Chain A
Amino acid sequence: MPKRLISKVRRWAAARRAIVVLAAGFGLAWVGLTLFGTTMVYTSTEAFCATSCHEMANNSNMEYIGSSHDRNRTGVRATCVDCHVPHAPIPLYIAKMGALNDLWSHHVTHTVDTREKFEAQRPKMAQRVWTYMKGNDSRECRHCHTPANMDPDKQSPIAIARHEKGKREKLTCVDCHFGITHHEPKSGPGPQELDVDRSLIPRSAIF
């Protein structure tokens, strides 16, 4: 099949002038990449992420609604992707590939298709996210929250003291700020109890 296709394309190209073939390749690349990019953008929207499968719509999204990342004084929000999908191109594409796993469990294994199953899986899923966030020093948190631009005059004394302590103890955001948007699992270790080796992962790495 691929052999036949290649010879077809070869014959097509040989029957045309080089400049036309070059332009066709150029156009194909632009159209293909535009479609690719549009898919990346669309699959990063709340409209897609939060509602395309009932697993997200009935659990994760319902928990998110009304939390401080959804609703706050200024109306500046963080949606699904802001916290759960990397922002640099290469990690983003890898994460999108990982979403195939979601399709698999939705269509084939039905891992979390009822509330009960979701609750049963919750500790495992939460620990997976915490491990990921600890491993990259809460990279997605820091994409929006810049510690150097936090105004100490606007933070409470307790927040300042704790941030100071966290820095000394080399904690990362999710070590303390967990269960802020989705329900906290009823069992299992919290992020601080999870052991993650961060020494191998460079900060602000693109890969």
Chain B
Amino acid sequence: MFKKIIGRIRAWGSRPGSLFILIAGLAVGGVSFASFGSFMVYANSEHFCANACHEMQPLQKEHKGTIHDMNRSGVRATCNDCHVPHEYVPNYLAKLGLLSDVWGHWTGSIDTKAEFDAKRYELAKRVWVYMKSNDSRECRHCHTTAKMDPDKQTEKALKRHEKGRLEGLTCIECHFAIAHTEPDGPGPQELFSVKAAAADAPASAAAPVSTRKD
């Protein structure tokens, strides 16, 4: 059966070409390119991201009402603004990474709330590590540090931003758990600080230990 189809394709392919076949190739290329592009756009939409699987729905509920959903000016950041790279190649790589979500969905790794809560720390940590590793690239896609008006920020914010710059911190080290519920366990600053690196590795890598000071 398979052999027969391949044989047919081979027979068709070895005929001489024509202008019509070139045009057909252009059409197939055009349609596939447009489909690929449209899918990339659709897969970035809130409609797809937040609703395609039931696992994401609690995360969308957490996002609702946070500053990135609802604020003075109604300018929002949706799922992909924070969690998907905006440059082409990293974007496509991230989309391939989605296959892992499909796998997780089928194997039921965070199928229930209990399973999700048990894994929340690990999932949060993964995002923090990623954001730290690229200097909070996705934050900075919208938030341009050089374009922040000091006159419009509080005294405290100015001081802390200055301090953060001096200490070489990145956005996520202070601005974490601002859109989703904070899990128990060491936060980004404890994970990435020099002290944490000096301390024994397993302690900082271990799952939920409530060492966060409030």
Contact = CB atoms under 8 A, between A and B. Distances in A.
Majority SS of interface residues in chain A? helix
B13 to A, nearest CB: 3
Contact of B76 (A10, A27, A146): A146
Contacts of A16: 16-17
Nearest to B10: A19
Scoring A15, A34, A72 by chain B CB atoms within 10 A of each residue's CB, the highest score goes to A72
A154 interface: yes
Contacts of B29: 25-30, 33
A74 B171 CA distance: 12
B69 to A, nearest CB: 6
A75 B147 contact: yes
Interface string A52-77: 00000000000000000011111111
Interface size class on chain B is: 35 or more
A194 interface: no
A25 B74 contact: no
A26 B74 contact: no
Interface in A140-193: 144-151, 154-155
Contact of B13 (A9, A19, A26, A28): A19
Given A22-B25, A71-B147, A14 B72 contact: no
A29 B149 contact: no
Contact of B152 (A20, A73, A145, A150): A73
SS of B interface (majority): helix
A100 interface: no
Interface in B6-35: 9, 12-19, 21-30, 32-34
A146 B73 CA distance: 8
A91 interface: no
A28 B71 CA distance: 46
A22 B15 CA distance: 11
B148 A18 contact: no
A76 B143 contact: yes
Nearest to B152: A73
Contact of A150 (B21, B23, B28, B72): B72
Nearest to B30: A29
B153 to A, nearest CB: 6
Which of B24, B32, B72 has most chain A Cβ within 10 Å? B72
Interface string B196-208: 0000000000000
Interface string A1-39: 000001001100111111111111111111001100100
Nearest to A70: B147
A16 B15 CA distance: 8
Contacts of A9: 19, 22
Interface string B27-54: 1111011100100000000000000000
Given A72-B149, A73-B148, A20 B28 contact: no
Nearest to B25: A25
Nearest to A20: B17
Given A26-B25, A28-B29, A33-B33, A73 B153 contact: yes
A150 B30 CA distance: 40
B75 A144 contact: yes
B199 to A, nearest CB: 35
Contact of A76 (B12, B14, B75): B75
A149 B77 CA distance: 11
Interface of B: 9, 12-19, 21-30, 32-34, 37, 69-76, 142-149, 152-153
11 contacts: A13-B21, A18-B16, A21-B17, A21-B21, A27-B29, A29-B25, A76-B144, A146-B74, A146-B75, A149-B70, A154-B71
What are the 9 tightest A-B residue pairs by CB atom distance, in nearest-first order? Answer: A25-B25, A29-B29, A21-B17, A19-B13, A154-B72, A73-B152, A150-B74, A26-B29, A75-B148
Given A15-B16, A18-B17, 8 more contacts: A13-B21, A18-B16, A21-B21, A33-B34, A76-B142, A145-B75, A149-B76, A151-B70
